[in-house]
Structure 1
Amino acid sequence: MLQRQTILSVSTSDTGFVDITRHLARFVADSGVKTGLLTALLRHTSAGLVIQENADPDVLADLADRLEAMAPRDPSLYRHRSEGSDDMPAHVRAMLTNVQLSIPVMKGRLALGKWQAVYVAEHRARGSDRQVALHLTGE
């Protein structure tokens, strides 16, 4: 059984989605693991990890719009404001998205579907440097 770990650094510029699929695929390819499981954990509470469509950018735009509707950036709606008016809505959005994903590895590749990609979903209005802890096990 092989195990590999690393920290992937992802810079975001504002609210939206950053495709990290190629970074994950490279990590798997470089590991030598042919069959296994990749676990990714976003080490933050105001962003998320999601698997979504990679073909039509309108999907990501619509998702961003729905997240805005569910957790608007209206400071009058929240008690917690000490880290900025966008922080509490970002926490709510992070609760709606994942912070951890598990992706099977088959034949040395991520077992994602044809139209799937892995994204860091930035929920803060100002970007940030995000960290994704990766753990790969397999043979």
Structure 2
Amino acid sequence: MWYQQQIILKAKSRGFHLIDDEINGQLLQIKNIEAGLLHLFLQHTSASLTINENADPTVLGDLERHFNKFVPENALYYQHDYEGSDDMPAHIKCSTLGCQLTIPISNGQLALGTWQGVYLCEHRNHASQRRVIATLHGE
């Protein structure tokens, strides 16, 4: 079976946001798959997707602080700043983390590890909703 759907993620503040509930809430077909894969593709260049710690929220703050130090705003060598000082850093962070994930599905659920969650990494100060193409394959 193949199934594809667009998922709309609500606008979020800058930072790392757990989106497992939004995925499961909008992609009800996961429950019909005993064994398969979910591919998520974020249709944006200033946000990213990652899988990381879902138990301790300090991990998310540390990730945000690290990326802000690793890729600072207002670097003198940036030429692309049409949408503000967070514009080019957002593109660099997106290229670093990536815009897609593939997650196994087992018995109608995302087969994530005990401490894992799926995160939208919002790199813009004033972002709008984000679109994700979800493709399911399985039986």
Task: State TM-score, norm by structure 1.
Answer: 0.92
- Please state how far the C-alpha of 1:4 moved relative to its aligned partner: 1.4
Which is worse superposed, 77-86 or 39-48?
Answer: 77-86
The residue that corresponds to 1:78 in the other structure is: 78
Which is worse superposed, 103-112 or 16-25?
Answer: 16-25
SS of residue in 2 equivalent to 1:79? coil
1:25 matched to 2:24? The reply is: yes
Unaligned residue ranges in structure 2 (runs of 5+): none
Q: Residues 30 and 108 of structure 2 are in contact (CA less than 8 Å); yes or no, is this contact kept in structure 1?
A: no
1:104 matched to 2:111? The reply is: no
SS of residue in 1 equivalent to 2:62? helix
Q: Residues 28 and 110 of structure 1 are in contact (CA less than 8 Å); yes or no, is this contact kept in structure 2?
A: no
Identity %: 41
- Please state how far the C-alpha of 1:59 moved relative to its aligned partner: 0.1
SS of residue in 2 equivalent to 1:60? helix
| Cα distance change, pair 55–114 in 1 and its aligned pair in 2 (3 A) | same
Pairs within 5 Å for 1:38-117:
38-117=38-117
Task: State TM-score, norm by structure 2.
Answer: 0.92
Report the count of equivalent residues: 138
- Give, as a single letter, the amino acid of the residue that structure 2 aligns with 1:23: E
Deviations 1:84-129 (A, max 9, x none): 1110000011111120000011111111001111011000111221
1:36 matched to 2:36? The reply is: yes
